[in-house]
Amino acid sequence: MAEAPNFQTEMRQLLRERVIDTARRIVCDEGWGAVNMSRVAKEVGVSRPVLYKEIGTRQELADVVIRTEVDVFLLGIAESLAAHPDDAVAGITQAVEYTLRTGADNTLLKAVLSGRSSEDTALLPSLMTETEPVLGRAIAALTTAARAQYGFDGVPDSELDSMIETVVRLALSHLFQPIGPIERAVGQIDRVIIGAFGEVLAAVRS
């Protein structure tokens, strides 16, 4: 018999989701500078001690909001790879295009990148430079997904990880500092993907 859901666990998960949704909405509407733990607690309907217990500090709240947003991108990336089950170059290129097009329309990302004040830009390090929650998770997730989808038999984990990291860093660079149309960025990254993965796939198949 399946174990009955734990009511307390479900309530904590619901609280967490409401906190994330509330913080995200405030960021999109007013910028990160408008987010503080007292306001979030009040809008969610809990005390500050409860909020701190469940989420942690304001910076930890920022990381949770960003990680949740990244999860949406990672799901779409996995679907992009699955759309090309036998062509790693096409799958990874589509994943890059999905990331750039989805990112261009993402309200949270727009709010952070167009910060109204220096306080608003406090989220930028988490997005652009820190290993977590974006860069490290993206590299690990895409490496795992690519290995599962395409095998890459004979390619050491370190080599595959390095190639994926190059693609992820390029995609993030174009996402956060776009120059020209998305098609141009995808074309530039596609040439890198062909160079890196084309040679590897040719060596594996030979």
Q: Is residue 36 part of a domain?
A: no
pLDDT, position 124: 55
| Positions in the chain whose pLDDT score sits under 50 | none
pLDDT, position 205: 53
- Residue 54's Cβ-count burial label (10 Å; 0-12, 13-18, 19+) is middle
d(CA 206, CA 202): 6
d(CA 206, CA 187): 27
Q: Is residue 9 part of a domain?
A: no
Contact in structure between 83 and 192 (CB atoms under 8 Å): no
Number of domains observed in the structure of the chain: 1
Q: Is residue 137 part of a domain?
A: yes
pLDDT, position 62: 86
Closest to 99 measured CA to CA, from 26, 42, 174: 174
Whole-model pTM: value is 0.81
pLDDT, position 185: 95
Q: Is residue 199 part of a domain?
A: yes
pLDDT, position 81: 94
pLDDT, position 24: 93
Domain with 88 in it: what CATH number?
A: 1.10.357
pLDDT, position 17: 95
Closest to 154 measured CA to CA, from 204, 199, 201: 204
pLDDT, position 116: 53
Q: Is residue 23 part of a domain?
A: no
Interhelix angle 58-82/88-104, nearest 10 degrees: 140
